[in-house]
Amino acid sequence: MRAAAIAVSAERTRCVVFDGERGTLWVPGESTAESTAAGLAGFIFRTGLSVCLPHLDGDARFDRDLDNPEGDASDRFLGVPVCAGGKVVAVLAAMRSAHELPFEPLDVAALEALAAHASPYAAAWLDDSRDAGGPFRLRALRAAEHTSGSASEPLQLESVWMRRATWLFFASLFTLLIAFVVLKGWLG
Residues 6+ apart with CB under 8 A from 73: 55, 56, 57, 62, 64
CA atoms in the 13 A half-sphere facing the CB of 135: 5
Residues lower than pLDDT 70 in the chain = 1, 31, 123-162, 188
What is the predicted pLDDT for the residue at 79? 92
Domain boundaries defined on the chain: 2-132, 160-188
At 158 the three-state DSSP class reads coil
Contact 39, 61 (CB under 8 A): yes
What is the predicted pLDDT for the residue at 186? 80
What is the predicted pLDDT for the residue at 128? 47
Task: Calculate ∠ Cα 142-146-150, nearest 5°.
Answer: 135
Write out pLDDT tens, residues 72-107. Answer: 888 899 999 998 878 888 889 899 988 998 889 998
What is the predicted pLDDT for the residue at 134? 52
> Model pTM?
0.64
Contact 114, 121 (CB under 8 A): no
What is the predicted pLDDT for the residue at 106? 92
- Assigned fold of 2-132: Beta-Lactamase (3.30.450)
Write out pLDDT tens, residues 54-75. Answer: 888 888 888 888 888 888 888 8
